Amino acid sequence: MYDILIIGAGPAGISIAVEAVHSQIGTDKILLIEKAEEHSYAIKKYYPDKKLVTANYKGFEAKCTGVMCIPDLTKQETISYLDKAIKENNLNVKYSETVWKFHQNEDKTFVVYTDKSQYEARIVAIAIGILGKPNKPEYIIPSALKNSVFFEVTSTQIIDSNVLVVGGGDTASEYCQYLVQNNNEVTLSYRKKDFTRMNDINRISILALEQENKVKIFYESDIVSLENRDGKPLVKFKQEKYPDMLFDRIVYSLGGTTPSNFLKMIGIEFDGEEPIMKEHHETSVPGLFLLGDLSAGKKGGSIIWAFNSARKAITKIRKDYIIS
Ligand X SMILES: Cc1cc2nc3c(=O)[nH]c(=O)nc-3n(C[C@H](O)[C@H](O)[C@H](O)COP(=O)(O)OP(=O)(O)OC[C@H]3O[C@@H](n4cnc5c(N)ncnc54)[C@H](O)[C@@H]3O)c2cc1C
> b/e string for 77-104 if b means 16 or more Cβ within 10 A?
ebbebbeebbeebebebeeebbbbbbeb
With a CB cutoff of 8 Å and minimum separation 6, the contacts of 193 are 219, 220
- Nearest approach in angstroms of CB 78 to ligand X is 8
The DSSP annotation for 64-76 comes to --SS----SEEHH
Contact by Cβ (8 Å): 264, 179: no
- Nearest approach in angstroms of CB 185 to ligand X is 30
> Which residue, 98 or 187, has its beta carbon nearer to ligand X?
98
- Nearest approach in angstroms of CB 102 to ligand X is 11
With a CB cutoff of 8 Å and minimum separation 6, the contacts of 143 are none
Contact by Cβ (8 Å): 245, 234: yes
Contact by Cβ (8 Å): 122, 110: yes
Which regions of the chain does DSSP assign to beta strands (E)? 2-7, 30-33, 52-53, 73-74, 93-94, 99-104, 110-114, 118-126, 149-150, 162-166, 185-189, 215-218, 223-229, 232-237, 245-246, 249-252, 270-271, 274-275, 288-290
> Which residue, 253 or 302, has its beta carbon nearer to ligand X?
302
Q: What residues make contact with ligand X under the rule CB under 6 A?
A: 7-13, 33-36, 40-43, 46-47, 53-54, 57, 98-99, 127-129, 131-132, 292-293, 300-304, 306
> Which residue, 60 or 237, has its beta carbon nearer to ligand X?
60
- Nearest approach in angstroms of CB 1 to ligand X is 20
- Nearest approach in angstroms of CB 51 to ligand X is 7
- Nearest approach in angstroms of CB 114 to ligand X is 7
> Which residue, 233 or 259, has its beta carbon nearer to ligand X?
259
With a CB cutoff of 8 Å and minimum separation 6, the contacts of 203 are 173, 195
- Nearest approach in angstroms of CB 279 to ligand X is 19
> Which residue, 127 or 164, has its beta carbon nearer to ligand X?
127
> Which residue, 64 or 207, has its beta carbon nearer to ligand X?
64
> Which residue, 223 or 291, has its beta carbon nearer to ligand X?
291
